[in-house]
Structure 1
Amino acid sequence: MTQATLGRNGVRVIAHRGASHDHPEHTLAAYRQAIADGADALECDVRLSADGRLVCVHDRRVERTSDGRGVVSALTYEELAALDFGGWKGEPHRGARVLLFEELLQEALGAGRPVGLAVETKHPTRAGGRLEAELVRMLRAYGLADGASGLVEVMSFSRNALTRLHRLAPGLPAVYLMERRLRPVRPPFAGHAGPGIELVRRDPGLVARLHAKGLRVRVWTVDEPADVELCLRLGVDTLITNRPREVRELVSGLLAER
């Protein structure tokens, strides 16, 4: 297993859309900062453009994160690339274009140390299963689809998406993301469960129950020191955060005190 797979001190810190507290989400600046901050892995959301390009955009529409309008899947890559995705926290847009997943993949592979990718496929979308098929095709082109490197994980709130991903690339580690309580059945083909921090706050015993099912647990989005302490106390395996440097330092300090 790689260093990126194991994480420091056994607890992984994943940068949520990059170091997105400090830079616009899903931009090269955010991901390069996350790598510099020592994140074990980079989280991204992927969608398909109208012409089948895999782009890193969270929302169904582009209004929140760009100076344009429209649905991602209805815009071609050329149309998306003409938009400014550098707007952030009410500041003027700053000249960042839409990020292709392949560009992020190359950035992670060229980091000079093992840096993982945690890739969420967004649903529902008009692309349907083509989204997972294109993601696996891209990973296969880089020799990463069999999961042997330990560098890539796939994530989704959609059980159907996880099922498709398993059929296409059964070796890829999968994460079932959760906003509500997990049903009694085990999530399909997933070795990890990903509850949101609000759910963990309301039901701290959830982490132990998920571990009892044989699942590793990652929690999103963990930015506050009290939430980091709670997750470590409960034995959470992975933290997804907008603040990778601060959270990594806090994790190291808290674990050193034990």
Structure 2
Amino acid sequence: MKVIAHRGNSAHYPENTPAGWDSAFAHRAHAIEADIRFSADGVGICAHDPALQRLFKRDERTAELSYAELASLAGAQGETISLYTDVLAYVRKGQSVVLDLKEESPAALEGVWQAIDQRVPHDRRPLIVVGCHSLAAVEYFAARGGVTILGLIPTPDVAAEVFQAGATTIRLWERDVTSLLVEQLQALGAQVWVTTGGEPTGRRVGDTDQQSLAALHRAGVEGVLVNDVPLVNTLLEALQ
């Protein structure tokens, strides 16, 4: 089972930061995940929330501030907002990254693609897993080719359509996983990844435990997005 570091090794480091991403790879993550947004002046940044309140105690939204203003902010552990291009640097080193596209306007999709096109050699682009929430985003990246497309679907009923549009991997929420559904998606030709936790599990998104991970393993899930990479690797080793 592939271990994807949800917002980096975020159980141990501030989310969406190089420290967390580096730690994830040091603990044998298959890939790191980062959330992609844009500043008011069009600079690609890594931020999960549309607002700055949770991490930086500010009332503004990320899209309302310039990159210079965003870069001046510091979180509780001194963390600052990372650049989208910081994530692409891992790809140039041969490491895989998952881009969770939090903005999917035409301008945002073009901004994501232009950075890839300008900075990542063609032979490295399959290491980029573009996480798309909308069918339009899947179709956009499928038309450009080269990258791997992950369908971040809200519910299983849209999985087949998203796969047919070009997403070779389908992300399910843990609440939706059944062995039959996983088997059906794999029969289409899709890989199946799962974001652990979230409602109604009683765990934070990205958190897991031995029992839940074992159930996903039995269901045939091929990848998990998790907060604690070393813990999950230890739990997976116990399942072998």
Smaller-chain TM-score bracket: 0.7 to 0.9
**1:114-193 counterparts in 2 under 5 A?**
114-123=94-103, 128-144=105-121, 146=122, 149-167=125-143, 169-183=144-158, 185-187=160-162, 188-193=165-170
Which residue, 13, 30, 41 being the options, matches 2:31?
41
* 8 Å CA contact retained: 2:88, 2:120: no
* 8 Å CA contact retained: 1:17, 1:25: yes
Letter in 1 for 2:171: G
The equivalent of 2:212 in structure 1 is 227
- Shift of the 147–253 alpha-carbon distance from structure 1 to 2, 3 Å rule, reads farther
After TM superposition, the runs of 4+ consecutive aligned structure 1 residues lying more than 6 A away are none
- Shift of the 148–81 alpha-carbon distance from structure 1 to 2, 3 Å rule, reads closer
Q: How much identity, in percent, do the aligned residues show?
A: 26
Instruction: Give the superposed CA RMSD.
Output: 1.9
Residue 49 of structure 1 deviates from its aligned partner by 0.8
Deviations 1:104-135 (A, max 9, x none): 2225545xxx42101111146xxx11112111
In 2, Cα distance between equivalents of 1:136 and 1:123: 13
> Any gaps of 5 or more consecutive residues in structure 2?
197-205
In 1, Cα distance between equivalents of 2:160 and 2:141: 19
In 2, Cα distance between equivalents of 1:157 and 1:108: 22
Larger helix proportion of the pair? 2
- Shift of the 219–185 alpha-carbon distance from structure 1 to 2, 3 Å rule, reads closer
Residue 241 of structure 1 deviates from its aligned partner by 0.7
The equivalent of 2:191 in structure 1 is 216
In 2, Cα distance between equivalents of 1:219 and 1:184: 13
In 1, Cα distance between equivalents of 2:182 and 2:18: 33
Give the number of aligned pairs.
Answer: 228
Letter in 1 for 2:57: D
Which residue, 56, 70, 75 being the options, matches 1:66?
56
